[in-house]
Amino acid sequence: MTQPKEKTSNIVKIPSTVTVKKFGELLNLPISDIIKELMKNGIMANINEEIDFETANIIAADLGIETQEDLAVSDGETITLEHLLEICRKEKLAKENLASRPPIVTVLGHVDHGKTTLLDTIRKASVAEKEAGGITQHISAYQTKKRGQLITFVDTPGHAAFSAMRERGVSIADIAILVVAANDGVRPQTKEVIEYLKDKKIPTIVAINKIDVPEADPQRVKQELAELDILVEEWGGKFISNEISAKKNIGIDALLESILLVSEVEEFVADPKRDGLGVVLESHLDPQRGPISIVLVRTGTFKVGQDIAAGNSYGRIKRIEDFSGKSIEIAPPSTPVVITGLNEAANVNDILQVVSKKSLSQIKSKASDEIFRGGKAGVSKQQLYSSIEEEKIKKLNVIIKSDVQGSLEAIEQILSAIKSSEVAINYIDTNVGNITESDVKIAESSNAIIYGFNVTATSVAKRMAESKGIEIKSFNIIYELIDDIKNSLASLLPPEIVRTDLGRLKVLAIFKTGKKDMIVGGKVIEGKVSRKCLIDVKREKELIGSGTLTNLQHNKKNVDEVSSGSECGLTFEGSTKIEEGDVLEFFTEEEVRRKL
């Protein structure tokens, strides 16, 4: 076997994925040696195919070379949230350039159990009053200090509508505070959150809130949690618990101490010397400043003036603000910041990263090409729904405008749960910002309804919509918007015909036979007969025709109804020729509007 050309004690750094050719170059070995060693391990790969670090590490070890995974992000490489979290995990294991960072804490629990009030109390700022319909509409992030140490909080809404946003909060958090109301106990969203916490293996602190109310029963809450394998320390478990009142500011200091205690045990660290990598929590269009992104820095440091990219968005950092709005020059790990400088609002969960000028130029060029080919977000969503069979499924064309990306995510998540083989939502466009004349023009050409969530329509757009008959519907409570779209979808469904059987009559005599009607007599053998009902004509149990009852007589008098056991005469309207011995079945039909 050919040995490395140059013996060295240096550890060779290998990327998370590497081509066989590049792998050979990094090890300073002939490609033939690498391929032979791969084959010995049952791996058939040519020089241009990629292998992962785990495989590369085994091959290098067999060749007597020590390797280490290179956690640097390649210039121009677009990374996912999962990749970022993996980088952070491996960064800690590598133990290079590490420094302590503030813990990132998320507050989770059932709706109305006091999560927002708790966060409001902690940061001494009023956010609870901004809620609409009792739901926190957006994710926010901010910091507080305890014993001179910073703690970062990520606020995730607790309503069922925002389970996707809540899961994102768990994914990026170091510590979770599980809030359970002492007077209400474990509820559906509580159970859902506990499943997330178990799945993500997030260190968890239990906060039993509302202990000041008369109905408070903390022991019952602990019992219910124990049944879900959340056993608190005082009951012999591993979960720290704090009894608090967010409203009355009771137990908050102890809760913050619990966070610092967990943080000391877990030792949260990051590499502040590398270029920044952060998660986009929120984004929106500011009328004065343009696209704004709320970013949580997970590792590395962002600096004003750096070229950046997030998903399909790109630009240069013009300004960095901390959560209080103060302008800062750098943003280290665990810092929640507001960043100005991207060309458009980034998507929630996009990873903001520093790029070179060359990569920035390539991203701009790619974006221009996509726009030229019609590759905007709205069009891609149409392409997503292009598989809908036009002749079978009726589509509701909609344009949705929202104040922030997080709300769009929540709306689309809820709407995606609507399942129907007959109707579907066709997203003509979804975007952030107020409703403008451009939206109205798109709606006119596509026959779409414009839905706005926490946004307004410009005066020009309103006038244009009125003159062109375009519907603009605005909401500030998410479920009102969802219900309206559901109702609009349901209106496209053909109505359900509900049949109600009334009775049966045996024909005993034929009194008159016309071209389109007959007068017959008979005895009601079951149920009743009513005027203006529908009739099925059966002969020897076989359906031979149908018609309508237009007149009903009993004892030669017009009546509205004849019951079982009585004889009557009736006028049958229809083309079927009735004979003695036939059985007439009477029924009504009603059109009922269907629901989704």
Sign of CA dihedral 275, 281, 283, 288: negative
Q: Which of 127-141, 179-193, 408-422, 559-573 has the lowest mean pLDDT?
A: 127-141
Q: 214 vs 117, 165, 182, 183, 211, CA distance in Å?
A: 19, 33, 10, 8, 8
Percent of the chain with pLDDT over 90: 51
> For the chain, what is the mean pLDDT?
85
Going from N- to C-terminal start, the domains of the chain cover 1-70, 102-267, 277-372, 377-492, 496-592
Model confidence pLDDT, tens digit, residues 149-173: 999 998 765 555 556 656 656 678 9
Q: Is the pLDDT of residue 78 over 80?
A: no
Q: Which residue has the higher pLDDT, 131 or 311?
A: 311
Specify the fold of 377-492. Rossmann fold (3.40.50)
Q: Is the pLDDT of residue 98 over 50?
A: yes
CATH match of 102-267 with 3.30.365.10:
no
Other C-beta atoms closer than 10 Å to the C-beta of 504 total 21
Model confidence pLDDT, tens digit, residues 316-344: 999 999 988 899 999 999 999 999 999 98
Model confidence pLDDT, tens digit, residues 267-320: 999 999 999 999 998 888 877 788 999 999 999 999 999 999 998 899 999 999
CATH match of 277-372 with 2.40.30.10:
yes
State the average pLDDT over residues 521-529. 96
Cβ-contact 432, 345 below 8 angstroms: yes
Q: Is the pLDDT of residue 595 over 70?
A: yes
Percent of the chain with pLDDT over 70: 87
Cβ-contact 302, 337 below 8 angstroms: yes
State the average pLDDT over residues 232-245. 95
Model confidence pLDDT, tens digit, residues 412-452: 888 888 888 888 999 999 988 889 888 998 999 889 999 99
Q: Is the pLDDT of residue 565 over 90?
A: yes
Query: How many Å apart are CA 541 and CA 413, to the nearest integer?
Result: 52
Residue 1 burial (C-beta neighbours within 10 Å; 0-12, 13-18, 19+) = exposed
Q: What is the CATH number of domain 496-592?
A: 2.40.30.10
Cβ-contact 153, 122 below 8 angstroms: yes
Q: Which residues of 282-313 are buried (b: 16+ CB within 10 A; e: fewer)?
A: bbbbeeeeebbbbbbbbbbbbebebbbbbbbb
Q: What is the pLDDT of residue 154?
A: 87
Please provide the DSSP assignment of 281-317 as one string.
Answer: EEEEEETTTEEEEEEEEEESBEETT-EEEETTEEEEE
Q: Is the pLDDT of residue 83 over 50?
A: yes
Contacts of 216 (CB under 8 A, 6+ apart): 182, 183, 210
Q: Nearest CA to 279 among 312, 310, 316?
A: 310
Q: What is the pLDDT of residue 48?
A: 85
Query: How many Å apart are CA 322 and CA 310, to the nearest integer?
Result: 19
Q: What is the pLDDT of residue 3?
A: 47
Q: Which of 331-335, 344-348, 545-549 has the lowest mean pLDDT?
A: 344-348
Provide the CA 288 distance to its chain's centre, in angstroms: 29
Domains 102-267 and 496-592 share a fold: no
Q: Nearest CA to 172 among 189, 154, 160?
A: 154
Q: List the beta bridge partners of residue 280.
A: 295
pLDDT band at 116 (very low <50, low <70, confident <90, very high): confident
H or E element at residue 283: strand 277-286
Model confidence pLDDT, tens digit, residues 355-398: 888 777 777 776 655 545 444 444 444 444 444 444 467 889 99
Query: How many Å apart are CA 534 and CA 536, to the nearest integer?
Result: 7
pLDDT band at 70 (very low <50, low <70, confident <90, very high): confident
Dig out the tokens for 258 from the structure. Answer: 């619990």
Q: Which residue has the higher pLDDT, 159 or 143?
A: 143
